[in-house]
Amino acid sequence: RISQNVLTCPTTACFNLLDTDPYYKLGRKVAFFGDGFQYRDVRYDRKVWAIPILCGEFILDRRFGYSDGLMGGNLWYMGQDLDAALAAAEKGVAAITNIPGVIMPFPGGLAASGSKAGSKYSFSIASTYEKFCPTLQAQLGEKAGLPEGVGAVMEIIMNGRDIPSIFQATQAAIAASKDSPGLLRISAGNYNGRLGKSFIYLHPEKQPA
């Protein structure tokens, strides 16, 4: 994610949040992008790698701590068209940004190509979720999964430090976007435990204490 989404984004830098031991020497790995021109330095009173890039330098810490957490919390925004789905989802992203301990790992917080676990091809572990692709609804017939009138689906994916954090982020996103024009439904991917045993409920009264 850092190499593909942060390093490539204008004006960014990347700093460690968790002062833990053990840690990953992640900065050194990413610094290889510098192709031999990267160098160690001290910036902002931090030990960093500096990588020359076309707009100047990309700076990131040398070490990154880590801890256990949860990944894959999600929300699906079903809109009457692409603009409606995107506008609603962006409101959800803005709300989640204010929740401590939660990140959205995709660019802009959104995924346009929500996937299912598994594939018809043995070499792939995930593939397009055809049941919820608007352009396939007529072709799928009774197997189609979208409500009538849905023209696009946007997905927010959340990673967090624990279930309460992701639950709080989920509820904040729903509250911020539920009245968005052209939004027909807010739902979520449910993989029946294939991707983990933790569940986040969209209706708050159903979430276990």
Domain coordinates of the chain in residue numbers? 10-65, 70-189
pLDDT over 80 (residue 195): no
- CA dihedral sign, ordered 196, 63, 45, 51: negative
pLDDT over 90 (residue 140): yes
Q: Which tens digit of pLDDT belongs to each residue from 120-129?
A: 999 999 999 9
Q: Give the lowest-confidence range in 42-46, 100-104, 198-202.
A: 198-202
pLDDT at 36: 97
Question: Does domain 10-65 fall into CATH 3.40.50.300?
Answer: no
pLDDT over 90 (residue 192): no
Looking at the whole model, is its pTM more than 0.85? Answer: no
pLDDT at 209: 76
Average pLDDT over every residue of 137-141: 96
Q: How far, in Å, CA of 171 to CA of 82, rounded?
A: 23
Q: How far, in Å, CA of 106 to CA of 1, rounded?
A: 8
Parallel, antiparallel or unpaired: strands 110-111 and 56-61? unpaired
Same CATH topology for 10-65 and 70-189: the answer is yes
Topology of domain 70-189 in CATH is: Alpha-Beta Plaits (3.30.70)
62 Cβ neighbours under 8 A, 6+ residues apart: 25, 27, 28, 40, 47, 48, 49
C-alpha pair distances (Å), 94 with each of 30, 39, 70, 150, 174: 28, 36, 20, 23, 11
Using an 8 Å Cβ cutoff, are 94 and 83 in contact?
no
Q: Which tens digit of pLDDT belongs to each residue from 13-38?
A: 999 999 999 999 999 999 999 999 99
